[in-house]
Amino acid sequence: MKKAGNSMNDLPSDRTPPVIAAEINAIKHQTGKIILAGAIEIGRRLKEVKELLPYGEWGKWLEDSISYSQKTAERLMKIFEAYGAKADASLDVGTQEQGQTLTNLNYSQALILLGVPEKERVQLIAELDVESMSARELTKAVNERSQALKERDRALQEKADLRKDLEEQAGQITQLSTERDNLKTNAEELRNSKAEVEARALALERELLSVEKSLESESVKQLKKDLNAANLRARVNKITLLYESLDRAFKDLTWEIKNLAADDPEAYKVYRKRVKDFLSRCSNQTI
């Protein structure tokens, strides 16, 4: 009987490098799944031991009993918590598909996916067909996804900041509109008051002229005094109106110029200089 062999001559003649590469990758993936299953079970038992040991003896037990560093042990327990616990839960109704999806990974894939939040891990596995990806491809996909999420969060934050700025500007506009309306009301009241004073002064002046034609007496002098007083009050009211209008206009001007500084620095410099020059000319005038 011819002895069965397993040399290169026993393999089919149509084997090619791509076929062999596919076989190697399949073996690597199956080996990785076996390693992952072992890592999950080791992590399960490490977690069990850690809960049994007194505080402070964990590191010594790892070194003396199984020659593991705490970093290695923590990684294995994370593997169990991320995949072993999910596989156990897959025995429950409604979670079987999720558990099967997670346990079909190999060890390298499982380690890479630890960087993905638990709630998004299963969805990512389904979307990317992770089982057929190399470690390099999966790492690139996870990094690209992380960058995309960061850009999305940054865009959302910018949108929220923009909305906040718009709301603040709307509030400022509303406040300025209210102040403008109040100023209009105050100006109208001052104009009405001025008109009343001027009308009263005109009436007194006419009355005085009428009295002067009839007699020269103390009452005429009093009327002149009242007229002068009325004229003085009218002038004071006019000055008050002009001053308050000037004060409001100057405050509005300075406020608008300050707000212009951030949006148009050159225009801000020009108008700031003009205002200073105007104030300088005013200070040189004698009142």
Whether the pLDDT of residue 152 is over 80: the answer is: yes
Report the pLDDT value the prediction gives residue 102, as an integer from 0 to 100.
56
Report the pLDDT value the prediction gives residue 103, as an integer from 0 to 100.
54
Coil, strand or helix at 121: helix
Mean pLDDT in the chain? 80
- Read off the pLDDT band of 40 (50, 70, 90): very high
- Decide which of 115 and 87 is more confident: 115
Report the pLDDT value the prediction gives residue 38, as an integer from 0 to 100.
92
Q: Say if residue 76 is exposed, middle or buried (CB neighbours under 10 Å; 0-12, 13-18, 19+).
A: buried
- Read off the pLDDT band of 13 (50, 70, 90): low
Cβ 40 vs Cβ 84: under 8 Å: yes
Mean pLDDT of 43-62: 95
Maximum distance among all alpha carbons in the chain? 163
Residues in the chain: 287
Name every residue whose Cβ is closer than 8 Å to that of residue 186 and which is 6 or more positions away in sequence: 244
User: Domain residues of the chain, as ranges?
Assistant: 18-133, 152-284
Whether the pLDDT of residue 43 is over 80: the answer is: yes
**Residue 211 to residue 220: CA distance in whole angstroms:** 7
- Decide which of 142 and 10 is more confident: 142
Report the pLDDT value the prediction gives residue 69, as an integer from 0 to 100.
94
Report the pLDDT value the prediction gives residue 56, as an integer from 0 to 100.
92
Whether the pLDDT of residue 66 is over 90: the answer is: yes
Top-ranked range on mean pLDDT: pick from 60-69, 223-232, 273-282 = 60-69
| Number of DSSP helices (H) and strands (E) in the chain, helices first | 10, 0
Report the pLDDT value the prediction gives residue 220, as an integer from 0 to 100.
64
Map tokens 């509303």 to a residue: 174
